[in-house]
Structure 1
Amino acid sequence: MQLHIANHPLISHKMTLLRDQRTQSPLFRELVAELVNLLSYEATRTLRVEEVPVTTPVAQTTGLHVSQPLPLVVPIIRAGLGMLDGFLKLMPHSEVGFIGMRRNETTLEPETYAKRLPDDLANRQCFVLDPMLATGGSLAATVQYLLDAGATEVTAVCLVAAPEGIEFMEEHFPGDNVQVVVAAQDECLNEHGFIVPGLGDAGDRLYGAAE
């Protein structure tokens, strides 16, 4: 697994606002979209492209288009949905799939409750959106599903990551076909499995504490 921590002043500034408990849901959603847009620029550096002819007002030349099959972006619902608009602003031509994955708060193990993805992901580049890389269980399960379905490369875009989650991903994906791009690596997980200092429950802060 390759890890990229996006060390940029604008990202750090927006992450500080995002962490603040006084930041209400409307601003929180706006900040998430802005951060994902910045992170997606880093996450798509290895995007496959192909040469195409193009005629400018001055001359004929050769340009680049994103290759087929189109990239697939997969938000892990519900919190990952808050990242989708920010990603699609940069990559509007992407196809979108969904996976519902939640952590059992007793066992801390991932549970899948919904899935809407193509059956065949042969030769696909996939991008997984999940705000929090905590224990790593949910993200690893999603990445493994995409690889098993034929994806050639999977890049996860996260806002914050705990060292425990990063280590878990590194152990499960020793190859270079999995990448994790994060805005910040935090200190640790607490006894409840929450990232410290973190930013709280991303889903609740995006959408409210709906049961």
Structure 2
Amino acid sequence: MPPNLPANAHVSAHPCLKAKLSQLRAASTGSKDVQTLVHEIALMVGYEALASGLTSTDDAPDQSPLGYTYTTNSIAPAPTRISLVPILRSGLSMVPALSSLLPTPVPVHHLGMYREKSTLQPVEYYNNLPYHAPTPANPNAGGPAELAIVVDPVIATGATACAAIETLKDWGVKRIIMCAVLATEDGLEQACNEWPEGVQVWVGGCDESVDEKGMIKPGLGDIGDRLFLTLGK
């Protein structure tokens, strides 16, 4: 883990994840394997992030197949108070992994953002967060989640991550867990400092910097193009 990162930054030291990240970096790795590796790394990063960000609570008793009574367990916050928020488009690749870790389905709300080419600043083009208020008949419908789990494979300059955090803060979430495959040191620091008391950022690896086009060095290339086989567009 690079020195002097904020306390809410977490870079995985898992040797298997490091090996998979090395495979993902290779230009020779095809789209199908890119999808598989992103999924597997997202599982590993998400496993660590959710172990830290969720708690286990005792629930109603049930019976095992042999008739023994045991205490069931659930998570807190409750799944109805959690939102999984992929940043389009490449964040979609991490949704199945994070969803599979959670014991029951949670709402998935999408944020569409792209970087303007000349300034590298994020532009929001899609937002389906439910801003309508809950009703007495359905108190869990709409309104902000207690916990937002944001997924995006890459945190490069950190501008998109910061914009997403600001949008979710404005929505009213109490906490954010952000999961990424790879970040830069500066991008990770920017994301962590956007809301230090409310954000925890978990990444599979960390590179030093970006090039003049805002791409991470050595990085993963354009991970969205590699995932969705749109190279050379």
TM-score normalized by structure 1? 0.92
Number of the residue aligned with 1:82: 93
Number of the residue aligned with 1:61: 70
Contact 2:90 2:227 in 1 (8 A): yes
Contact 2:180 2:203 in 1 (8 A): yes
Task: Report Cα offsets for 1:71-127 as digits up to 9, x if no partner.
Answer: 210110011111111222212522101010111110110000111122254452111
Q: Indicate the SS of the match to 1:62.
A: strand
User: By how many angstroms is 1:167 displaced?
Assistant: 2.3
Number of the residue aligned with 1:32: 38
**Pick from 102, 108, 114: which aligns with 2:120?**
108
Number of the residue aligned with 1:201: 222
Contact 1:71 1:124 in 2 (8 A): yes
TM-score normalized by structure 2? 0.84
Q: Indicate the SS of the match to 2:90.
A: coil
Unaligned runs of 5+ in 2: 1-5, 132-141
Number of the residue aligned with 1:181: 202
Equivalent residue pairs, number: 210
Contact 2:82 2:145 in 1 (8 A): no
Contact 2:83 2:145 in 1 (8 A): no
Separation in 2 of the partners of 1:116 and 1:81? 14
For 1:38, give the aligned amino acid. Answer: M
Unaligned runs of 5+ in 1: none
Number of the residue aligned with 1:19: 25
User: By how many angstroms is 1:49 displaced?
Assistant: 4.0
Contact 1:32 1:86 in 2 (8 A): no
For 1:205, give the aligned amino acid. Answer: R
Percent identical: 31
Number of the residue aligned with 2:84: 73
User: By how many angstroms is 1:62 displaced?
Assistant: 2.5
Number of the residue aligned with 2:186: 164
Q: CA RMSD in A?
A: 1.7
Q: Indicate the SS of the match to 1:22.
A: coil
Q: Out of 145-154 and 17-26, give the one that drifted further.
A: 145-154
